[in-house]
Structure formats: structure tokens, C-alpha cells
Chain A
């Protein structure tokens, strides 16, 4: 059972554009939603995260929007740069008792100059 559905699978934007990556989750026990960024040949690295009691979180050019009732959240990258080209994974963390991350399938973002 895929508990975190991520779309699109790939995304191409021009420099300065605002790519948006969407995720939907099924498990209502998720209590924490991180986004990880992965460059080729590297392991994923935490980019930004949000808890379900907050509707939006900004860190620099990265913003998470969260809709608890719809069980959806999204990542927006403002003023995207070629250096943002990477694969992005959303995830949900199961709650107390067994804290584990369930990842989406990833979105490969290409920012062209």
C-alpha cells in the first residue's frame, strides 16, 4: 500500500519559475511531513518540514503548503535556479510508538537556464 502519493514524476521549469510538487497521504497517523532533496550520487538530505497544525512554512525560497482536511501538501520553490535541479521526495512520519518515514516516489526537477 502506497501511503504517500507524489506528483508529478518529473518537472522541467525555466530559471526563475516556480515549480510545485504535490503529495497526498492516506495514513492519518502521520504527524510530521518532511521534504528531502537528493542530488545524483548522493543520499537524500532534509530540505524543509512541517507539522499538520501549521498551514504553511517558509524557509528561504522553499515553501510547504499543508491542507490537513484534504490530506495533501505541496512544495513550492520560488525563483528556481539550475542548482535546484535534483530529485525531491516528500515523506510522512508515523506517530508515537514507531517513528518511521514513508517516502513518496520522488519528483525529478530540472531547472533550465
Chain B
């Protein structure tokens, strides 16, 4: 079974630039999550989709972050403009349903803002 695919693996940008991350969840998984993992901390939920609808985006900094899930499958997370404090690993995860009993994570995208 193919896992959660993310790209790119690494990205370095200057502050105030924009960046986008892509995620392809496990086939058939209805729920998709984007997490931010700052070095030395646990993953923090940014946004949760159920199919192509947003379930929770209460911790998403909406002035600069946006996310969409196209046709309930792939998802993109965008940051515009980036700040230094956005440097982190952005993890995409998916689960079969909305109960979050098991989330399958991708390898993440390591973003460095300089």
C-alpha cells in the first residue's frame, strides 16, 4: 500500500516569499491533516479536511496560510508571505475516517526561511 506522498522534501526561501507544499494521501482516506512541526516540538495541527470540506482550521494563521483539497484527494498548503518563524517541517497525514484513531504521516517538507 502506497503511503502519504509529499513534495518537495526540502525548500529554502527568503522571508516575504511564497511557497507551496503538495500532499497526496493514501487512496480512500477521507480525512487529511496538515501539521506544523517546529524543531524540538510535537506536530501541531494546522488544518483538517474531511473529503474536500474543512473540518477545523482554527490554528491556521489565515493571514498568510491557505490550504485546499482538490476533489477530496490531493491537497496543497501555501504560505504567503513567509516569515522566519515559519521555518519548520510541514507534515501531511491522512486517516481512513474522521475518528483519528490512526493517522498515516508523510515524510514531510522541511521549510527554511532565511
Contacts of B104 in A (CB 8 A): 45
Nearest residue in B to A49 (C-beta to C-beta)?
Answer: B101
A46-B102 contact in complex given A100-B56, A105-B40, A105-B42, C-beta closer than 8 Å: yes
Report the Cα distance A105→B39, complex, angstroms: 10
A–B pairs, 28, beta carbons within 8 Å: A32-B100, A32-B101, A34-B102, A42-B107, A43-B91, A43-B105, A43-B107, A43-B108, A44-B105, A46-B102, A49-B101, A89-B42, A98-B56, A99-B98, A99-B99, A99-B100, A100-B45, A100-B48, A101-B43, A101-B100, A102-B45, A103-B42, A103-B43, A103-B44, A105-B40, A105-B42, A106-B40, A106-B41
What is the size, in residues, of chain A's interface with B at 8 Å between Cβ atoms?
23
Question: Is B103 in contact with A104, judged by CB distance below 8 angstroms?
Answer: no
Q: Please encode chain B, from 85 to 113, with 1 for each CB lying within 8 Å of some chain A CB and 0 for all others.
A: 00000010100001111111111100000
Question: Is A43 in contact with B4, judged by CB distance below 8 angstroms?
Answer: yes
Nearest residue in B to A99 (C-beta to C-beta)?
Answer: B100
Give chain A's interface residues, CB within 8 Å of chain B: 4, 6, 32, 34, 41-46, 49, 89, 91, 93, 98-106
Report the Cα distance A91→B103, complex, angstroms: 12
Report the Cα distance A6→B105, complex, angstroms: 21
Report the Cα distance A109→B98, complex, angstroms: 31
Report the Cα distance A32→B102, complex, angstroms: 11
Contacts of A101 in B (CB 8 A): 43, 45, 100, 103
